[in-house]
Amino acid sequence: MGTTQLESVPEPKYWHLRTVLTEALDSEFAVGEILPNERDLAARFGVARATLRQALEQLELEGRLQRRRGVGTTVAPPRMGVDVGTEQHTWPGAGEDAWQSADCTLAEPPATVAEALETDRAEPVHIVRRTRMTHGQPVAAELLYIPRSSVPELSAIDAPSGAARARAVLRELQRLELEGGESAVELGSAGADDAKALDRLPGAPVLVVTTRYHADGRTAALSVATYRADTCRLTFGDSGGVEIHQGPERRAS
Amino acid sequence: MGTTQLESVPEPKYWHLRTVLTEALDSEFAVGEILPNERDLAARFGVARATLRQALEQLELEGRLQRRRGVGTTVAPPRMGVDVGTEQHTWPGAGEDAWQSADCTLAEPPATVAEALETDRAEPVHIVRRTRMTHGQPVAAELLYIPRSSVPELSAIDAPSGAARARAVLRELQRLELEGGESAVELGSAGADDAKALDRLPGAPVLVVTTRYHADGRTAALSVATYRADTCRLTFGDSGGVEIHQGPERRAS
């Protein structure tokens, strides 16, 4: 069962440093402040550069630090709560939609998507690419897969290409009686296109939200959205107020 | 707004290697198979050890590989779908509960928890520690914070300490008319206690699910649960069937 004999493993050095750094961030630094460079930090805490880097990566993963090319390492603001519930107002094409449609193509979906859509693998589907903006920042990049049977009245004249075509497809999708949807969330890494849309480097950790929308008892559309894991806290239901800062400090002793 | 001039950044070497390795995993390796050692892999793909390690870390993040002390790097099985919806049967203490209660203490909660519970910071709350098991493996470690006012009839005689006390607190909590709950999901890293419960090393990436339970219009309990990000796909609603393997391969070209 893959046990790793954790009992015999002492606390790694970078983990101890991470705890010390967290305390320093809480007490000495303000949001947006630039940290001293790695050499100075390593000297201050009496650790090797490699150990320091591991601890900084840890804090980046936890959303406490941001590392930006040409700027350095800064103290991150609290994560934004982003609603990914499947209430009606969040459905693709709905009025209050925070998504910006960028493009739409007709292409064969990946095998796993075809399976979820219950379409034939060789059957092209509409693929709408959208970006979700919050406070002027991109928080998610989405591919929305829509079988042609879900939008049978789409006219090529109405929707020649690009963003206009994407909007036309979503408008047609809205004519269906969409029924809620179920979601799954998992950890992933940003592919090249997503990374570009999200202003990150390829491989950056993302939260991948897969949502299935139904109509007339079958899957009418499938959304695969990648959210920035560094800046987003995904909320389900009206939980804007649930803001628990993570980390071992949260423990009561 | 912190742009990083991504347009001018070429695809990093480890990212390209990651794509090549993904294809090799799909075509040449079975689930559970042990990969060749780093030196042999680096030689085979003609890359530096550091580049190889970055690519392997990437694939570990995506849940494709598992690295285990004393075993080496193995091909990971598909992630398990774990329901974290807030339907009644998942409420703390419910009959079909997949959680094992380990312990219960009465202590001051962290400030952020006190705020969410709308209790005074100095007011001790019941803190139930539980572990969620799926297919015999630990998938989540939870701290459940319950204000004393939620379980006023708890008797010290019924519940002396440890797991028995935890069960008594949950039984009392069940007497309340709990109302659903809202959840938030974010990326975090396992603290020492969580890591131990989850059979991981401290700092391992986890998905932190914060859920608030209501009764009589106020917060009756707050759950902070850390799920293993490598093995779990969190599902909301009945979405057991939504299994989209992530990564750039999923794109239609």
Q: What percent of chain B shows pLDDT beyond 90?
A: 35
Residue A136 CB-density burial (10 A; 0-12 exposed, 13-18 middle, 19+ buried): exposed
CB B242 within 8 A of CB B220: no
Adjacent-strand bridge partners of B186 = B208
Q: Check CB contact of A251 with chain B, cutoff 8 Å.
A: yes
Residues A167-200: pLDDT tens digits? 889 888 888 878 777 889 999 989 888 999 998 8
Residue B246, both tokens: 């992530």
pLDDT band at B86 (very low <50, low <70, confident <90, very high): low
Cross-chain residue pair B250–A112, CB shorter than 8 Å: yes
* Chain A 157-216, residues with CB within 8 Å of chain B CB atoms: 180-189, 191-193, 195-196, 199-203, 205, 207-208, 210-212
Lowest mean pLDDT among B61-75, B121-135, B215-229: B61-75
Chain B residues close to A188, C-beta within 8 Å: 61-62, 246-247
The chain A residue lying nearest B212, using CA atoms, is A242
Adjacent-strand bridge partners of A213 = A221
Question: Residue A177's closest CA among A211, A145, A220, A144?
Answer: A220
Q: Check CB contact of B122 with chain A, cutoff 8 Å.
A: no
Cross-chain residue pair B186–A5, CB shorter than 8 Å: no
**Most A-contacting residue of B5, B83, B148, B187 (CB-CB within 10 A), to test interface:** B187
The chain A residue lying nearest B185, using CA atoms, is A234
Range with top average pLDDT, A75-89, B28-42, B158-172:
B28-42
Strand pairing class (A80-83; A232-236): parallel
Residue A73, both tokens: 């390492």
Select A13-75's CATH number: 2.60.40.1120, 1.10.10.10, 3.40.190.10, 3.90.25.10: 1.10.10.10
* Rounded Cα distance, A21 and A247, in Å: 12
Comparing CB atoms, the residue among B1, B186, B203 nearest residue A79 is B186
Residue B175, classed as helix, strand or coil, is coil
pLDDT band at B112 (very low <50, low <70, confident <90, very high): confident
Question: Residue B188's closest CA among B174, B178, B198, B175?
Answer: B198
Reply yes or no on whether the pLDDT at A8 is more than 90. no
Buried (b) or exposed (e) across A38-57, using 16+ Cβ within 10 A?
A: eeebbeeeebeeebbebbbb
- Supply the DSSP symbol for A203: T
Q: Check CB contact of A93 with chain B, cutoff 8 Å.
A: no
How do the domains of chain A map onto residue ranges? 13-75, 82-244
Sheet holding B99-107, edge to edge: A80-83, A232-236, B179-189, B205-215, B218-228, B137-147, B125-134, B99-107
* Chain A 18-37, residues with CB within 8 Å of chain B CB atoms: 18
Looking at residue A95, its pLDDT comes to 60
The chain B residue lying nearest A250, using CA atoms, is B110
Termini Cα distance of chain B = 30
Chain A and chain B share a number of CB contacts under 8 A equal to 265
Within 10 Å of residue A78's Cβ, how many Cβ atoms? 12
Looking at residue A245, its pLDDT comes to 45
Reply yes or no on whether the pLDDT at B206 is more than 70. yes
Looking at residue B110, its pLDDT comes to 87
Give the minimum alpha-carbon distance from B193 to chain A in angstroms, rounded to a whole number: 8
A138 Cβ neighbours under 8 A, 6+ residues apart: A131, A132, A197, A198, A199, A228
CA angle, corner A180, sides to A178 and A181, nearest 5?
110
Question: What sign results for the dihedral spanned by CA atoms A241, A188, A218, A125?
Answer: positive
pLDDT band at A85 (very low <50, low <70, confident <90, very high): confident
Find tokens 């005689």 and name the residue. Answer: B157
Comparing CB atoms, the residue among A68, A222, A246 nearest residue B2 is A68
Read off the pLDDT of each residue in B50-70 and give the average, rounded to a whole number: 87
* Rounded Cα distance, B229 and B113, in Å: 23
Looking at residue A179, its pLDDT comes to 78
Looking at residue A86, its pLDDT comes to 67
Residue A171, both tokens: 């408008």
Looking at residue B238, its pLDDT comes to 53
pLDDT band at B121 (very low <50, low <70, confident <90, very high): confident
**Most A-contacting residue of B244, B245, B249 (CB-CB within 10 A), to test interface:** B244
Termini Cα distance of chain A = 30
B160 vs A116, more confident: A116
Cross-chain residue pair A247–B71, CB shorter than 8 Å: no
pLDDT band at A119 (very low <50, low <70, confident <90, very high): confident
pLDDT band at A156 (very low <50, low <70, confident <90, very high): low
Chain A residues close to B234, C-beta within 8 Å: 184-186
Residue A174, both tokens: 């809205």
CB A48 within 8 A of CB A38: no
Chain A residues close to B187, C-beta within 8 Å: 61-63, 187, 205, 207, 229-230
Same fold, A13-75 and A82-244: no
Chain B residues close to A18, C-beta within 8 Å: 203
pLDDT band at B252 (very low <50, low <70, confident <90, very high): very low
CATH topology of domain B82-244: Chorismate lyase (3.40.1410)
Cross-chain residue pair A184–B86, CB shorter than 8 Å: no
Q: Check CB contact of A66 with chain B, cutoff 8 Å.
A: yes
pLDDT band at B249 (very low <50, low <70, confident <90, very high): very low
Adjacent-strand bridge partners of B68 = B72
Cross-chain residue pair A233–B185, CB shorter than 8 Å: yes
Alpha carbons within 13 A on the beta-carbon side of A70: 7
Q: Check CB contact of B105 with chain A, cutoff 8 Å.
A: yes
pLDDT band at B5 (very low <50, low <70, confident <90, very high): very low
